[in-house]
Amino acid sequence: MPTMVSDSTRLVKVVGEQPPLRRKLVGRAGPWQLVRQVAETNLARLYTARPADASESQPVAYMVKMLRKEWWRDTAAIEMFRREVMVGSKVSHPHVVPILSANVRQPPFYATMPLLEGTTLRQRLDTGWKPTLSEVLWVVRQMAEGLAGLNDSVRMVHGDIKPENVMLSSTGHVTLIDLGFARGEGDDHGNLAKGVMGSFTYIAPEVVTSAYSASIASDQYSLGVVMYELLSGRPPFTSQDPAELIALHRGGKAPCIRSVCPELPKPVASIVHTLLGKDPLRRGMSYRELIERLVRLEIDTFVIPKSA
């Protein structure tokens, strides 16, 4: 069986959720002044930043992601980082994080992007947030639009759709982040294709079976898992055992979403279970079709808040 790369090991330490750092971390990355480390994964560290020639009074509006030194000689980690930079620099879409500048030729490897306002969808859910149906449809529709933008711009799939890779602003704007697993449909070139990539809880069955099966449909399966979790409060399949999770994705039947959410409209449940289909040929639909269906449901379920 191919090696599984699970992002469950890529734990993020975010200022405000973890004890604050003992001191501000000030340094340089090319033309960028690093202001403070704000997050960390097993592959990279993230810093708020401003142009190196800017004064300290200038607002911090950028984020620099730096590959950790221990990965500077790892070809797979470097390829993943370069892939993220390549995709992010070519895609211009309101729901996909852009890469503004980068150095991927030699250490230190870094990429600069806008400093996004808000928190990840995972952080929001961990606070106990229970979105309304209209909020779920709004978030999922924006995610679908971002995935469509990736496909239209560079013919790529995201490859790692999950709540940790979705930024949600205070106004509800969605931005897809972490493009390191992005690749073309059926891409079988390079180190990234040698193992199955993604997160166990959200990975599509065909990606578990073959590392070369990434497609629009596999991103849509992961989108379906996220949608199920937003509606019900938990993913359709849960287990601490990676092998069991793989088996469930490959052959387990997801509990009917209406058994968990009895008041959920049938058309919404239909989308969820279509996205969660085991066969990618039966699951897949064009993003245009998916977005149109979600927009219609948004309109049908929109509730005007009662005046105070």
Average pLDDT, the chain: 85
Is the confidence at residue 191, as pLDDT, over 50? Answer: no
And the tokens for 294? 């979600």
Q: Is the peptide bond before 2 cis (omega within 30 degrees of 0)?
A: no
Instruction: Identify the pLDDT of residue 210.
Output: 62
- What is the rounded CA–CA span in Å between residue 292 and residue 133? 17
- The CATH fold of domain 4-114: Phosphorylase Kinase; domain 1 (3.30.200)
More confident residue, 172 or 4: 172
Instruction: Identify the pLDDT of residue 67.
Output: 96
- What is the rounded CA–CA span in Å between residue 37 and residue 15? 9
Instruction: Identify the pLDDT of residue 186.
Output: 60
Q: Widest CA span of the chain, in angstroms? A: 59
Domain boundaries, the chain: 4-114, 119-301
pLDDT band of residue 129 (cuts 50, 70, 90) is very high
- Exposed / middle / buried, residue 189 (Cβ in 10 Å: 0-12, 13-18, 19+): exposed
Identify the CA nearest to 147 among candidates 176, 114, 121. Answer: 176
Report the 10 Å Cβ neighbour count for 267.
12
Percent of the chain with pLDDT over 70: 83
Which pTM does this prediction carry?
0.86
- Indicate the class that CATH gives domain 119-301: mainly alpha
CB 214 within 8 A of CB 160: no
- What is the rounded CA–CA span in Å between residue 84 and residue 109? 12
Q: What value does the mean pLDDT take over residues 30-55? A: 92
Q: HSE-up of 219 (CA within 13 Å, CB side)?
A: 30
Question: Which residue's structure tokens are 């989108």?
Answer: 223
Which ranges of 68-120 does DSSP label H, i.e. alpha helix? Answer: 75-90
- What is the rounded CA–CA span in Å between residue 50 and residue 116? 14
Task: State which of 19-33, 203-217, 263-277 shows the largest mean pLDDT.
Answer: 263-277
Q: Which residues are catalytic?
A: 160
